[in-house]
Structure 1
Amino acid sequence: MGGRVLIGTQGWNYAGWVGPFYPEGTRSADMLTRYAEAFPTVEVDSTFYAIPPVNSVLGWAKRSPEGFVFALKLPRDITHERHLRDAEADTELFVERARLLGPKLGPILVQLGPDFAPSELGALRDFIPRLPRDLRFAVEVRQERWMRDDVLPDLLALLSDHGVALALSDGPWLPRETVLDLAAAPTADFHYLRWMGPNRDLTDFSHVQVSRADEVDEWLAALTKLDALGIDVYGYVNNHFEGHSPATARELQRRLGIRPVDPREIGEQISLF
């Protein structure tokens, strides 16, 4: 494809991945290092729950190789509790911490809650212009009303004016057909994709339990069309999409012509000593 295509998962610290993905005996503290041997990027879920401490951010940078990319989620206190209002100080602090990643910092996701309705577009209009233009941001909406003909153009115009991506998610909130159509009209110089899935009852993340091959085919067709646009693509798979996100991410890589890393190759350099 014309731009970079970076495929990874949402999070890396899952006990169920030890054995099927991580080598047996992998400690939690070593999971990020092992993960980064297989994928070039990860979406950090923990930042959704709190602004990360300085030592945590520096630790992520230290335990990952050059060229690795972290996507961070804006804390829910800002997006879900305050609905982007009166959040300037905390947003600035979050961005300050995020910058500690240096060149490893990728997009920052503004995941709006399911109760953030089009009637609150004004809050988004106030919030987005305050974001630093030298960083990449993506906004995710979770109400189908945002896709209405009398709402969507205003949302897309706002994002486009500020170079912010509309996060495209395969989940229960928006019709897949609508999301795939939006892939052809990016509002930024990159796309931010999230494969979430409807299976929120899955708790065993050690293996694929639900095949979503048809959905993957639809996404691959959309991604192929993006080639002519020459924009970067960041894509993150949730465990709930098929049950074991590393396997889904590797399949996406393979179908996109990116050589996936076999789990048996992870940690090989350590096993030699």
Structure 2
Amino acid sequence: MRKEASNRTAPMKRPRIGTAGWSIPSHHAAIFPGSGTHLERYSRAFNCVEVNSSFYRSHRLSTWARWADSVPEDFHFAAKAPKAITHEAKLNCTIEQLQAFLQEANTLGQKLGPILFQLPPSFSFDEPRAKTFFIMLRDLYSAYVVLEPRHPTWFTQEVDQLLRNYEIARVAADPAITPEAGEPGGNKRLIYYRLHGSPHTYYSAYSETYLANLAAAIHNHIDADVWCIFDNTAAGAAIEDAQTLQRLL
């Protein structure tokens, strides 16, 4: 049962609010003053970021280490798994593929947050394949994992229980392909909002009313680690939305 605000005895954990990637559009340069790389300037304004480039290509371990060294101690990275694992193999990857990516991401050390696996919209739920992958993943990695499925067959009570069994969180996404897709699922210790922009995916900004409702929802998760990543980056809306949500929280 949800506790009323008056019954809260512990402060809420600090939510992590950021964007997908740390590119700074020229029209937002004033928001990130000072010298340094885009990441260094970005990290002075936000406390997390989602590494999306790892979806497209591998990075040298020295690159991951440089990123970790360039941000404050409390800054965290979420790392998006390669498309070779999620889209090409559809989780039926080799252990070597998974090990290689985890080695890269683990170079971030204590600044590594959740590992994100985003599935293609055409990938329907396949229980044997999912369980085989989750077992392999958990044999190699014990920390936070979040899954973003995008086919309606993943949004059932049975799948949600499977995710909980392996301590895997499910993204709360917008736009949501089903009502359940807009709510967090799986491991309740990690709440991960991933907002792509609506109605024009990757472009549209969110209204202050939407963000105020989101802030209220985040406040209900007082015992969880909450992440909110804005992926509506195509026209720079993500930065302003993340700043607005910070203010509302």
TM range (shorter): 0.7 to 0.9
The aligned residue for residue 99 of structure 1 is 106
The aligned residue for residue 180 of structure 2 is 178
Distance 1:212 1:39 in 2: 20
After superposing the two structures, state which structure 1 stretch, 105-114 or 214-223, moved more: 214-223
Equivalent runs, 1:170-249 vs 2, <5 Å: 170-171=174-175, 173-175=176-178, 177-180=179-182, 182-183=183-184, 186-198=186-198, 199-200=200-201, 202=203, 210-227=205-222, 230-240=223-233, 243-249=236-242
After superposing the two structures, state which structure 1 stretch, 209-218 or 54-63, moved more: 209-218
1:166 aligned to 154, 170, 195, which one? 170
> 1:220: how far off?
2.4
Distance 2:15 2:147 in 1: 19
1:138 aligned to 146, 155, 159, which one? 146
Q: Which runs of 5+ in 2 are unaligned?
A: 1-10
Question: What does the per-residue CA deviation read over 1:197-222, in whole Å, with 9 as the maximum and x for residues that have no partner?
Answer: 132474xxxxxx74423332332232
Change (3 A) 1:237 1:110: same
Amino acid at match of 1:169: A
Equivalent runs, 1:114-129 vs 2, <5 Å: 114-118=121-125, 120-129=126-135
Query: Quick check: 1:99–1:105 contact (8 Å CA) kept in 2?
Result: yes
Q: Is 1:254 matched with 2:213?
A: no
Q: What is the identity percentage for the equivalent residue pairs of Structure 1 and Structure 2?
A: 29
Query: Quick check: 1:33–1:63 contact (8 Å CA) kept in 2?
Result: yes
The aligned residue for residue 68 of structure 2 is 61
Distance 2:116 2:194 in 1: 11
Query: Quick check: 1:44–1:73 contact (8 Å CA) kept in 2?
Result: yes
> 1:123: how far off?
1.5
Where relative contact order (Cα < 8 A, 6+ residues apart) is larger, the structure is 1
Question: What does the per-residue CA deviation read over 1:241-262, in whole Å, with 9 as the maximum and x for residues that have no partner?
Answer: 9842121111111111xxxxxx
Amino acid at match of 1:178: E
How high is the TM-score relative to the length of structure 2?
A: 0.85
- Aligned to 2:220, what secondary structure does the other structure show? helix
- Aligned to 1:108, what secondary structure does the other structure show? strand
Distance 2:202 2:195 in 1: 16
Distance 1:191 1:169 in 2: 11
Q: Is 1:19 matched with 2:29?
A: yes
Query: Quick check: 1:67–1:103 contact (8 Å CA) kept in 2?
Result: no
Amino acid at match of 1:254: R
Question: What does the per-residue CA deviation read over 1:169-204, in whole Å, with 9 as the maximum and x for residues that have no partner?
Answer: 112x424x4345x33x652421111111132474xx
Could you list the runs of 4 or more consecutive aligned residues of structure 1 that deviate by over 4 angstroms after TM superposition? 240-243
Amino acid at match of 1:252: L
Distance 2:213 2:104 in 1: 37
Distance 1:14 1:87 in 2: 36
Change (3 A) 1:242 1:255: farther
1:31 aligned to 26, 38, 51, which one? 38
How high is the TM-score relative to the length of structure 1?
A: 0.78
Change (3 A) 1:49 1:167: same
Distance 1:201 1:105 in 2: 25
Distance 2:202 2:78 in 1: 25
The aligned residue for residue 5 of structure 1 is 15
Q: Which runs of 5+ in 1 are unaligned?
A: 203-208, 257-273
Query: Quick check: 1:200–1:240 contact (8 Å CA) kept in 2?
Result: no
